Chains A and B, each alone.
Chain A
């Protein structure tokens, strides 16, 4: 009984939507009319939904200034181009810094005259600097991604 009632309700909802949006066939129109005639609650709901439709159909989007569209494609292309540039730059820097880091560590490890304590201190200093560097870069990156006013010259 409940399942049947649910499916009837779903059918009524779908028909009401189609009626409001002008997507109802003649046969469906008859079906909806019969449902509305038999159920005062449904009629009441349909009237409320009709009011909503009347209000929303008069609404539209707020248009941005026309100049925005003139530079739109250029902005899109610049974005695509710059992201490629950033990708290559990042890859290049990762390789260079990776190689330099390896050379540095290798030089310290192979230096027999340098005391172990100093080796450890240098290692910790470099590690700390690296963590701080990546932390700042990451923060800058996230801030940039979320800054709604990044196009504004300060």
Chain B
């Protein structure tokens, strides 16, 4: 109950911020940026795999959103609208980068395995045994097809529900699940390849 009330308050507050930003109040848009900058950065990171490019793209997306702020529907979630800009920029970037043959796998890994780090403090031997599996999975995530990686990142790293992923990406829930299945099957194959 308290969660629902908080969500409603956030929505009202966000609507107010959008309206103020549209009326020309720069600080109101700044507050929206502060609210979503981390999420936008990590979403971009999930797409492009490079922290520098993710920072650049997420800021660029906010700059574009700022210029197009009159088009925001105040009754919609800001991030859902903003994500479309970010997503398009990231896909364009990936397309351009593919043309220049810079591969994602050449980048330094952008995923941190918290569990590995914690267990390495407690049980170094066990960590050595599992590290190879985790390294394989990290590599496999980074080389997944873009649309599969997008859904996996939204599910595993952002912790969104299927309904939320479907809304934000603009696809049916069934497609969310099939992309997720395909992504996980690829990751399972990476583990299996290592074991065999």
Interface residues of A (CB under 8 A from B): 10, 13-14, 16-18, 20-21, 23, 45, 48-49, 51-53, 55-64, 68-69, 72-73, 75-77, 79-80, 83-84, 146, 148-149
Contact = CB atoms under 8 A, between A and B. Distances in A.
Give 5 closest A-B pairs by Cβ, nearest first.
A58-B115, A79-B63, A48-B188, A80-B63, A76-B62
A21 B113 contact: no
Contacts of B94: none
A80 B137 CA distance: 38
B33 interface: yes
A72 B37 contact: yes
B110 A51 contact: no
A52 B111 contact: no
A49 B184 contact: yes
B188 A58 contact: no
Contacts of A23: 161-162
A78 B5 CA distance: 36
Interface of A is mostly: helix
Nearest to A58: B115
A59 B60 contact: no
B52 A77 contact: no
Interface in B104-129: 109-116
Size class of the contact patch on chain B: 35 or more
B103 interface: no
Given A14-B181, A17-B177, A73-B37, 7 more contacts: A21-B155, A59-B157, A61-B112, A64-B41, A76-B62, A77-B66, A79-B62
B6 interface: no
B55 A68 contact: yes
29 contacts: A13-B177, A14-B174, A14-B177, A18-B177, A20-B184, A48-B192, A49-B188, A51-B191, A52-B137, A55-B137, A56-B137, A56-B156, A59-B113, A59-B138, A59-B156, A59-B157, A60-B113, A61-B42, A69-B37, A73-B34, A76-B63, A77-B26, A77-B63, A79-B63, A80-B67, A146-B96, A148-B50, A148-B53, A148-B56
B180 A56 contact: no
A73 B112 contact: no
Nearest to B109: A62
A20 to B, nearest CB: 8
